Amino acid sequence: MSHFQAQADFDPQHPAALALWCSDGRFTSAVEELLTKLGQPRLDTMTLPGGPALLDATSSSLGGVEIAREAASFLIKAHSIKEVVLVAHEGCGYYRSRYRYESPDAMQRRQLADLRSAARWVSGTHPGVVARCYFASVVHTLQGPRVTFAPHE
Ligand SMILES: [Zn+2]
């Protein structure tokens, strides 16, 4: 293939929302759909294994938390982001490899605590920026497996 021209229109305006979630591509389309539902059809993205975990000092590493916070702050300031959507997901491989011996329930509690911690960091560091947290799980419906997002305060 030589040159490829995408069909999507290019909008020179930066989106007002940043979504931070796990690299796990099984959730990508669903997260984009969530953002559209939240009134943010266009988004800046930060996807790294573990997603919002990386903004938390305990579930990240010392260097990792610095890099993730610096990257998020850059996008928020340079692109005038108004809303940050933080998504953790069920069965996250990052958490499973980091906390190998934790039960699924304890793991989910940890992920929710990390979401809250990430949201506190966002609104504490960037006053006026709204942080929203969601926990994504897979449910089985008549149409097949679907991703649902539970808001988390
Ligand atoms: Zn994951």
CA of 122 to the centre of ligand 1 (A): 20
Query: Which tens digits make up the pLDDT trace of 52-109?
Result: 999 988 888 888 899 999 999 999 999 999 999 999 999 999 999 999 999 999 999 9
CA of 115 to the centre of ligand 1 (A): 13
Q: Residue 84 forms beta bridges with which residues?
A: 18, 131
The overall pTM is greater than 0.85: yes
CA of 51 to the centre of ligand 1 (A): 7
CA of 9 to the centre of ligand 1 (A): 30
Structure tokens at 33: 């759909």
Report pLDDT for 61.
84
| Whole-Å CA distances, 97 to 92, 93, 108, 121, 134 | 9, 6, 14, 24, 21
Closest Cα partner for 139 from 86, 88, 89? Answer: 89
The protein residues having their C-beta less than 5 angstroms from ligand 1 (an ion) are 22, 24, 92, 94
Q: Which residue has the tokens 């997002």?
A: 149
CA of 7 to the centre of ligand 1 (A): 30
Query: What DSSP character marks residue 52?
Result: G
Strand ranges across the sheet with 130-141 = 44-47, 17-21, 83-89, 130-141, 144-152
Residue 6 in this model has a pLDDT that exceeds 90: yes
Query: Which tens digits make up the pLDDT trace of 133-142?
Result: 999 999 999 9
